[in-house]
Structure 1
Amino acid sequence: MRGSSMQSSSSSLTCEGCSQLDTPRLSTSPSSTTQVCDETIISRTYYAACDLFHLDSGSTPTDDHRFNNPVTVFDEAYHLHARTAHMGILDPAYKVFTSHQGLGALLYKLQARTAVVAGDPLCTTEHRTPLLKEFAIFRKGQGLGIAFVGASEDFSLYAQQQGWTTLRFGHERVINPLTNKVLRNQASKRMISQNRMLLDPKRGGTSIKIYCPSVTGVDASLEYRLQQLYDDWRLERNNKCGKDLQAFVTIYDLFSYPALTLFLYTTDKDGSITGFATLRALGAQNGFHIDPFIASSTAPRGITDLLIVTAMQLLKHAEIGYLSLGFEPASDIQEVHGQTKFESWVWKQGYNRVIKSVPVTGKAAFFNKFYPEDSLSSDLFICVPGRGIPIRGSLALMQFANMNVWQLLTHKKGKHKEPQTASSS
């Protein structure tokens, strides 16, 4: 964990601001105490929080050297092209390939001697082919294959033009905070009432705070507490699941890219942290991905709901209309391109057996509580070069999704139950 002698740089959100869903309109300029040079979506959102919740936004930008390094090819590529699928940027198990020609970057994970690329290449459309050719030279030198997971429909069409196999395996669920029914008091009224109870000083005693290290500086003590809560939560979840498979797991080093993230967290009357949510900036959609969002084992009921609704409210005030909840895997493959009928049948049967062997159900019901916008939902694809059934690539994809082949083969129907968890991490 990074060290720092700086004092706490988090700010507390008032109960009044969090409990009222009809928010005031964001002023067109920052407050008089705010100096924003080259405003990013992170700083814009932070200062919107200061305005919305009546916080002191007089903090000067940090002089921490980690935030003043020259912009790299990867920084620029991520800033312009990042999507939800690139959540692995916060997972130390992922690697980054950066073009020597400045064409862009790829985020990937090594599995079964295959570079499993997360999402689309971080580049412009015209740079896709030369970037992938440059990566191919690197891969061949390492003896690596390639596959893409979580690719967009646009990239899947490109892959089909290259003669690759593509499979639609799920979709991304997205909230539009600007039009959301929950924020308009038109839905989920029980959840809203519970949020207000939590924020009532006499009943719930919960406070919500914001931490934005790239704007206000690093608070090493707070980061340690948040990371510890996350690690404890993961350990408890894994113990509950036992030997059950857990699909599409990302293990976060929460503060590895502070310029891309801000955090909402809750405390009880004694100041103990009871939950938090990470908001990661998405350059491609000019919005955010919220993950992980978790509560401690001793937290009162409804903390994760409160964190998500607060994030929605904050983005609404910042006039940001894109908040991704993450991926929702399909119950079966609907679409396979680039295969014969028999090969497509094999792919579908294999996927269906895999998806039935892991606890992925339950996400839809949880996401639906927040009324995602159907028009913002997007399909997700797996893309594999060539045709036929690539054995090594298939094994790599299973390992990437945290699936054990032996457990899959010995899986019994109905064995697994969905753990009670809010986050997709």
Structure 2
Amino acid sequence: MSRSGGPGMLLDYEDSLYLDRKAWGLNHETNPTCAFDLRPSSDIDLVRRYGGPVSHAALNPSHRTFRTPGIDGLVGFLLTHRCAVVLGDPMCPPAQRDELTAAFVKYCADNNWSVIYAVATGNMRNFVNKSGGGMLEFADLLIANPQHNLEAGSKGRHLRWNLNHTRRQGVTVREYQGSGSPDNELEAQAMAALASWRAGRKGFQMYLGSPRLFANRSGCRWFVAEYAGSVVGVLYMMQINCVGSRYLIDLVFSTPGAPRQTNELMVVSAFQALREEGEEAVCLGVGPKALLGEIQGFGALSSALARRFYKLSNKMVPQHGKTRFWEKFGIVHREPLYLIFQQPRVGIPEFHALLKTFNFSISDLFR
């Protein structure tokens, strides 16, 4: 475990599993003024309470977490090329967001690290304005209403026809109650399906991390597609508190051999379950834009280069296809998402840090 000399503390996730809270004077029974808890479960609680569509990356052992006394909050980040890349906004009460951000920025400055916020919301605009930094609008947070029955009426005819064809082929979807007593055989099949899906992807790839389907079960739900006696797809959903949504659909995948429309059948099944529970909003995650939107803080030349580079990268890795997939399910609300830089420039360290964060590799071209 590493510690800072300033007001903040930096914890590697695995180290925090073994933290002696009493040695730090952080036992609530003996120190009632303590404003936060360093047990791993508190990380999960903060993600569920204040996290956005990618904040659960803070639970990944490869990421670090930052806390500061007096704030019940957490900043999860990946340190690479002397850049601290934060996925999502700081997770804390909104009234303390600026204070936690300032403490984290100071900690990074003391270590000579630059700060990048990836997939940040407009709530981080204060940081940009105070630091003189730059921000690029590259995606939207997508919200749908599961109360809308997507198969109903004339508008749902095409989707209904496709899903009925998939059902007739023998695909079934059920919710797996994996938060109780685990079904080891089903989970092994799900992990094998995940490996098959990942191996079947070709060309350039960009993703924020390897899926961890059963690593953090608290607040998670799984909808499993089965075909010919085997698991061929999984929809992974987790509990959050984001733009009026209590759930985030974090991942939907099916194997290369699964019948067409298997992913759509899992989504409709999850929507049906949420509809029956009375949920009126579900977060569909990050929807990348086809072109960059708002740019703040960068000069005219830098802005033009950023737009051209993003357009080119979207041709190489068509991330906007994810947005088009979700648009089938009736997007009712969008919130802009940004890449935010502490300084309005993207040098070689920042560029390499982003490639590392999004797991982008030229070698993928030759897969």
- TM > 0.5 between the two? yes
Counterpart for residue 130 of structure 1: 99
Any unmatched runs of 5+ in structure 2?
Answer: 1-37
Deviation at 1:249, TM superposition (A): 4.2
> Measured at CA, do residues 135 and 361 of structure 1 come closer, stay the same or move farther in structure 2, by a change above 3 Å?
closer
Equivalent runs, 1:4-403 vs 2, <5 Å = 72-89=41-58, 91-140=60-109, 142-178=111-147, 180=148, 182-199=150-167, 203-214=168-179, 216-237=180-201, 241=202, 244-268=203-227, 270-284=228-242, 285-373=244-332, 376-403=333-360
- Counterpart residue identity of residue 274, structure 1: V
| 3-state SS, counterpart of residue 377 of structure 1 | strand
- Counterpart residue identity of residue 360, structure 2: M
* TM-score of the pair, normalised by structure 2: 0.79
In structure 2, how many angstroms separate the alpha carbons of the residues matched to 1:209 and 1:353? Answer: 40
* TM-score of the pair, normalised by structure 1: 0.69
- Which stretch shows the higher mean deviation, 228-237 or 70-79? 70-79
Aligned partners of 2:219 and 2:239 also within 8 Å:
yes
| 3-state SS, counterpart of residue 340 of structure 2 | strand
Deviation at 1:78, TM superposition (A): 1.6
Deviation at 1:280, TM superposition (A): 1.4
- Counterpart residue identity of residue 208, structure 1: V
- Counterpart residue identity of residue 153, structure 1: G
> Measured at CA, do residues 192 and 91 of structure 1 come closer, stay the same or move farther in structure 2, by a change above 3 Å?
farther
Q: 1:171-222: per-residue Cα shift (whole Å, max 9, x none)? A: 12221112x25154342323223333444xxx433332212333x2323332
Q: 1:145-166: per-residue Cα shift (whole Å, max 9, x none)? A: 2100111122235433442211
| 3-state SS, counterpart of residue 321 of structure 1 | coil
Deviation at 1:276, TM superposition (A): 1.3
> Measured at CA, do residues 97 and 213 of structure 1 come closer, stay the same or move farther in structure 2, by a change above 3 Å?
farther
Q: More relative contact order in 1 or in 2 (CA 8 Å, sep 6+)?
A: 1
Deviation at 1:273, TM superposition (A): 1.2
| 3-state SS, counterpart of residue 298 of structure 1 | coil
> Measured at CA, do residues 360 and 121 of structure 1 come closer, stay the same or move farther in structure 2, by a change above 3 Å?
same
> Measured at CA, do residues 359 and 70 of structure 1 come closer, stay the same or move farther in structure 2, by a change above 3 Å?
closer
Deviation at 1:91, TM superposition (A): 4.8
- Counterpart residue identity of residue 273, structure 1: V
Deviation at 1:346, TM superposition (A): 3.5
Root-mean-square deviation over aligned CA pairs: 2.9
> Measured at CA, do residues 80 and 272 of structure 1 come closer, stay the same or move farther in structure 2, by a change above 3 Å?
same
Q: 1:353-380: per-residue Cα shift (whole Å, max 9, x none)? A: 333332324234322222221xx11111
Deviation at 1:137, TM superposition (A): 4.9
Deviation at 1:119, TM superposition (A): 0.9
Aligned sequence identity (%): 21
In structure 2, how many angstroms separate the alpha carbons of the residues matched to 1:167 and 1:259? Answer: 34
Deviation at 1:103, TM superposition (A): 2.8
Aligned partners of 1:289 and 1:323 also within 8 Å:
yes
Aligned partners of 1:90 and 1:254 also within 8 Å:
no
Higher percent of residues as strand: 2
> Measured at CA, do residues 103 and 134 of structure 1 come closer, stay the same or move farther in structure 2, by a change above 3 Å?
farther
In structure 2, how many angstroms separate the alpha carbons of the residues matched to 1:304 and 1:90? Answer: 26
| 3-state SS, counterpart of residue 334 of structure 1 | coil
- Counterpart residue identity of residue 334, structure 1: G
